[in-house]
A and B are shown apart, each in its own frame.
Chain A
Amino acid sequence: MNSGRDQPTVRNEALTNDKARAMNDMIRLVEPLIPALRRYAGGLTRNPAEADDLVQDCLERAVSRWGQRREDGDVRTWLFTILHNLFISRARQTKRRGPHMPIEEACETSLVSQPSQEHRLRHNELVNAVAALPQDQKSVLLLVTVEDMSYADVAKVLAIPLGTVMSRLSRARERLRRDLSGEGAGRAQTILRRVK
């Protein structure tokens, strides 16, 4: 009986096609977000290799958990949540073992490569000031400003109340402002020129 023999094949193909379609959707939606994930990871770790490692972990989880994701949920929020949680659990491990890479080794050229030297100096200073922020504040600041994420989405990614997002944002901005306009730091003045 021909039809009896063919049926399972047809069903298998349909299943394979469904899976292939889901994976194609995943690639289509996730791939454009990889640069932003790398940027955020770079801001958190200050080490490009570590950042890419983090992003790789994040993407692997995204691939294996794509089916479990809420269909109506925002893909970007979902991905940043995965990335952030991975970073936090790694940071805990690193704290236990001690950092394996001094912060000076952070590759400034890849993080802040700029056309002019003046720009580079300014940006290095800013990036250093961001790196010196407490972790909680740094995440909020980077997501709000660099990633242009809504306050509500930041709250979701970091699993904190909206009020906490706002207070951390406020503290981060104040601290950056203080650090970059310190007396004697002539270059810093060019970054944040106070309107007086």
Chain B
Amino acid sequence: MNFERPVSEDDLHGYVDDRLAPGRRAEVEAYLEAHPEIAARVADYRSQNEALREAFAPAAAAPIPPDLNLERMVAAHRARTSFAGWRLAASLALTLGAGATGGWLVRGMSNPPQAGVAALSREAADNYKVYAADRARPVEISGEQQAVLTEWISHRLQRPVATPDLTSAGYNLMGGRLVATAHGPAGLFLYQNAEGVRLAVFVRVMGERDRNASMANHDVNGVESVAWADDGLGYDLAGPVQAGALRPIANAVRRQTLNSGEIRD
């Protein structure tokens, strides 16, 4: 046979990897027919390819571990960069708000709570029962990585959300996680005091009609909670503590969130 261009080693690999233009491919095929020794080598290479793909396929099919969660990495990155100024403002607000006493009126007592906040309390209580009771892994991101946690929740709620500080009430941040509700993602922050009592702060975006709601107490199957909404963000403080004891802590949380600036529209 007569070949216009001699078949090179590169052509053989191009043939093995299916990278040749159809015309060249036909020429290589004709060449291989005329050279069985080389055709055998090329056939070997092709079965190598197949076996390699098969052997390495499981490595790409394995579930992605949480350490490789891209959204979390983005949140951590934003914590280090774009929100740095806001975080400074938020931490200042937390420091300033810690000692003050609030003059918040207990308006929720006389009015029946709006449906939106009642739903919020139910979700908070449900999540409290599942996660606060978990001795092995109550939180997904520990309090030591507070910036990561804050930015993860902020990213998913698409609102800057500060992690409330309850140390003035004797509760230290254990950490938190993102949880699912019928109304979208919510942030769950867990706290624990020296006696091992755990409290939760639950936060999510509220529906259009419930953008603002005054503080209201709810008792959902033995979990006490205080819920309210400011500027479209709903909060619930939940725990196995009497409502009277929860209220001052809720007031402190509310002051912190209101003082953290950007939350206001």
Contact = CB atoms under 8 A, between A and B. Distances in A.
Interface of A: 9, 12, 16, 19-20, 23, 26-27, 30-31, 34-36, 38-39, 42-43, 52, 55-56, 59-60, 63-64, 110-114, 119, 122-123, 126-127, 130, 141-142, 144-146, 150-151, 166, 169-170, 173, 176-177, 181, 191-196
A31 B59 contact: no
Contact of A63 (B55, B60, B70): B70
Nearest to A152: B19
Interface residues of B, number: 41
A7 B65 CA distance: 43
Nearest to B52: A145
Interface string B33-67: 00000011101110111011111101111101101
A113 B63 CA distance: 14
B177 interface: no
Contact of B13 (A16, A20, A169, A194): A169
Given A38-B59, A39-B59, 5 more contacts: A52-B67, A63-B74, A169-B13, A177-B45, A195-B43
B25 interface: no
B73 interface: yes
A112 B43 contact: no
B74 A177 contact: no
Contacts of A12: 262
B208 interface: no
Contacts of B74: 23, 26-27, 63
Interface of B: 9-10, 13-14, 16-17, 19, 39-41, 43-45, 47-49, 51-56, 58-62, 64-65, 67-68, 70-71, 73-74, 77-78, 82, 155, 158, 262
Contacts of A150: 19
Given A59-B73, A144-B17, A19 B67 contact: no
Contact of A43 (B56, B65, B73): B56
Nearest to B40: A195
A111 B82 CA distance: 39
Given A52-B67, A63-B74, A195-B43, A145 B49 contact: yes
* A interface secondary structure, majority: helix
A178 B19 CA distance: 24
Nearest to A24: B74
B70 A146 contact: no
Given A20-B158, A23-B74, A195-B40, A38 B62 contact: yes
A142 B55 CA distance: 11
Contacts of B62: 35, 38, 110
A35 B60 contact: yes
Nearest to A150: B19
A196 B59 CA distance: 33
B40 A39 contact: no
A4 to B, nearest CB: 16
